[in-house]
C-alpha cells in the first residue's frame, strides 16, 4: 500500500528489512518512473535485481520520501530499528527526506520502547570495549552482536552492540546521550522521525497519523 505513494519523478529513499523488501517488490510491479536511494546493501541489491533505477545522496541531497520499517514504534512515533546494521545510513536517508513513511505489522506497536527489542548501537571496532563499558554506565545491558561467534559488521564495517534498557521514557534524550559517547557512530533510536505509519493486520492495512489514532488502534487490536 505504501508503494502506491510513489509517483513519477520522485526521488525515494529505501530503508532495509523484510518489510521494505516487500515494498521494493511491489514497486517493481507498479513501476513508477522514480529514482531510488537505498540505505542498505541488501535493499540496494534487491532493487538493482528487480530493475529499479538507483542513485545516491551524492546526486540527490533532498528526497521526496523515504519508506522504511521498524522493530518497535511507540505512541509518539519514536522507533527502535537497525538490528541488521544499517541504522546509521537509514537515519541519514530519513533526515534527507521531506516525508518518512514507516511500514510495520501490528506486532511492532508498543506502549513503551524497549519492551521487545534492545537498542542497536554502531560502534567503532577500536573502541568496542571502552564504549560497551560506557553504555553500561547509562543503565543499559550491552552485548556485542555476533553470528557464529564472529562480530556482525554493519554496512559501514563497524560493530553492532545491542543494549537493553529497562523502559525508555524519553527516546530523544537517550538517543542523544548514546551518540555523545566516544566510539559511537550512531544508534537505532529514531525519535521524531516518522511522519506516518502504515500498519498491516489481519483485516488489511491502517494508516496512523497521530498519537490519538495510534492508541485507539492499539487498544482495539490488543
Q: Do both 201 and 100 map to the same domain?
A: yes
Among 72, 90, 122, 175, the active-site one is 90
Residues 182 and 195 in one domain: no
- Same domain (yes/no): 133, 199: no
* Selection from 45, 119, 38 nearest residue 82 by Cα: 119
Q: Annotated catalytic, 90?
A: yes
pLDDT at 1: 78
Residues 43 and 103 in one domain: yes
Q: Are residues 157 and 59 in the same domain?
A: no
Segment 48-63 mean pLDDT? 96
What's the pTM? 0.93
Residue-level pLDDT at 151: 95
Task: Say whether both 127 and 107 belong to one domain.
Answer: no
- Of 54-58, 83-87, 141-145, the poorest mean pLDDT is in 83-87
104 in the same domain as 20: yes
Q: What's the pLDDT tens digit per position in 172-181?
A: 999 999 999 9
What integer pLDDT is reported at residue 166 of this predicted model? 86
Rounded mean pLDDT of 107-112?
A: 95
Residue 135: give the domain boundaries: 119-186
Cβ–Cβ < 8 Å for 151, 159: yes
Is the pLDDT at 203 greater than 90, yes or no? no
Q: Do β-strands 141-144 and 159-164 pair in parallel, antiparallel, or remain unpaired?
A: antiparallel
Amino acid at each position: 500500500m505504501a508503494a502506491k505513494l510513489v509517483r513519477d519523478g520522485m526521488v525515494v529513499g529505501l530503508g532495509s528489512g523484510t518489510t521494505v523488501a516487500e515494498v521494493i517488490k511491489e514497486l517493481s510491479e507498479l513501476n513508477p518512473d522514480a529514482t531510488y536511494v537505498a540505505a542498505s546493501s541488501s535493499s540496494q541489491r534487491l532493487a538493482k535485481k528487480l530493475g529499479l533505477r538507483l542513485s545516491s545522496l551524492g546526486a540527490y541531497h533532498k528526497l521526496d520520501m523515504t519508506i522504511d520499517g521498524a522493530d518497535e514504534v511507540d505512541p509518539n512515533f519514536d522507533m527502535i530499528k537497525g538490528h541488521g546494521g544499517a541504522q546509521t545510513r537509514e537515519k541519514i536517508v530519513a533526515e534527507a527526506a521531506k516525508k518518512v513513511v514507516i511500514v510495520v505489522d501490528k506486532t511492532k506497536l508498543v506502549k513503551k520502547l524497549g519492551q521487545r527489542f534492545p537498542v542497536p548501537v554502531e560502534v567503532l571496532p577500536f573502541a568496542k570495549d571502552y564504549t560497551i563499558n560506557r553504555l553500561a554506565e547509562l543503565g543499559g545491558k550491552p552485548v556485542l552482536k555476533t553470528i557464529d561467534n564472529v562480530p556482525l559488521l554493519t554496512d559501514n564495517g563497524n560493530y553492532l552492540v545491542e543494549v537493553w534498557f529497562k523502559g525508555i521514557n524519553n527516546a530523544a534524550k537517550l538517543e542523544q546521550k548514546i551518540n555523545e559517547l566516544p566510539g559511537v557512530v550512531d544508534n537505532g533510536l529514531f525519535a521524531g522521525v516518522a511522519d506516518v505509519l502504515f500498519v498491516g493486520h489481519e483485516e488489511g492495512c491502517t494508516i496512523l497519523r497521530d498519537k490519538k489514532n495510534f492508541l485507539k488502534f492499539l487498544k482495539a487490536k490488543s
